[in-house]
Homo-oligomer: A and B are copies of this chain.
């Protein structure tokens, strides 16, 4: 899941990136409203974490612009101000949730999950393909009810595929989700992860298969014949 974090404090930004990564989010961090606008024009995000106290003006402006465009990407507002007034303004302008600093990382993650679980969204608590089950909350994989041990990256790739099971996922999309904007992809990392995933899935007797669509991407689907 790819997020945009709008936060001018570089230190906190780095902390968030790291913490969110541990929960399977790839976060792009920007420090100004201007950069936020550009990032939003360039890519689609699953959700946005927005600090209101930005140096170059008001974060609320970003939010308003977004909603004017009928963009319904979930926005979680983050701020040091705790007055009722600010909270009301934020929510009236289209924020979906509100968190006051200082906050616990776990609470941020919990609220993001809640937001992403909303109506139209891509989320149940667990995803299933064949006998492979992915628990989105615990970020854990089961094959025929036995827990499997995958690395963080492997889990991330599998999640993307399973969230779109039966549909093709472009290699580019996977790269973006793994690495965010910092597009350092000087290699075939995705191919390597697909390979490792296939191997482990086969070894564990999974009844799900990752197919290759040449020139397009990958697709996970239930395995047919025994």
Contacts and interface: CB of A to CB of B under 8 A. Distances in A.
Given A42-B107, A107-B42, A214 B140 contact: no
B140 A168 contact: yes
A102 to B, nearest CB: 9
Given A147-B221, A166-B147, A168-B139, A214 B152 contact: yes
Nearest to A215: B152
Interface bracket on A: 20 to 34
Contacts of A88: none
Interface string A122-153: 00000000000000001110000001010110
A216 B152 contact: yes
A43 interface: yes
Contacts of A140: 167-168
Contact of A104 (B43, B211, B215, B219): B43
Interface of A: 22, 41-43, 103-104, 106-107, 138-140, 147, 149, 151-152, 166-168, 172, 211, 213-216, 219, 221
